[in-house]
Amino acid sequence: MERTFNEKKWSQFYSETLGRPTTLTETIGKAEMWLIRSYWDLEFPRLTLPNVDYVGGPHCKPAKPLPKTSGEHGVVLFTLGSMVNNMSEDKANAIAWALAQIPQK
């Protein structure tokens, strides 16, 4: 961690942001989910905790901003991935009905 982060600088930043004395180590220790921007195939095989998830990686393009036509209530992103192929029509209609009840588009 010492070669990547200037611990004194980040501890000062977190203390100012949170409005109380804290350290980089304390703040990192309280993280509930770790998102690692790497591709798991390129990593050395190792054990990871259940709260670690690999996202993105060198093969991913930077995300584009959402369009401004999303309306006043914002956006809900709902995805089923590959499960959509196994879904019955009744379940699909129930999900569509539930999503139609919220003001977001």
Collect all residues with Cβ–Cβ distance below 8 Å to 96 and sequence separation of at least 6: none
> What local confidence, expressed as pLDDT, does residue 21 receive?
93
Q: What is the pLDDT of residue 3?
A: 53
**Residue 52, beta-bridge partner list:** 34
pLDDT digits (tens, 9 = 90+) for 62-89: 777 766 665 677 777 777 776 677 788 8
Average pLDDT value for residue range 14-34: 85
Helical ranges in 23-79 per DSSP H: 24-29
Q: What is the pLDDT of residue 78?
A: 77
- pTM, whole model, 2 decimals? 0.36
Confidence label for 4 from pLDDT (cuts 50, 70 and 90)? low
Question: At residue 105, what is the residue type?
Answer: K
What are the phi and psi torsion angles at 35 (to 5°)? -105, 120
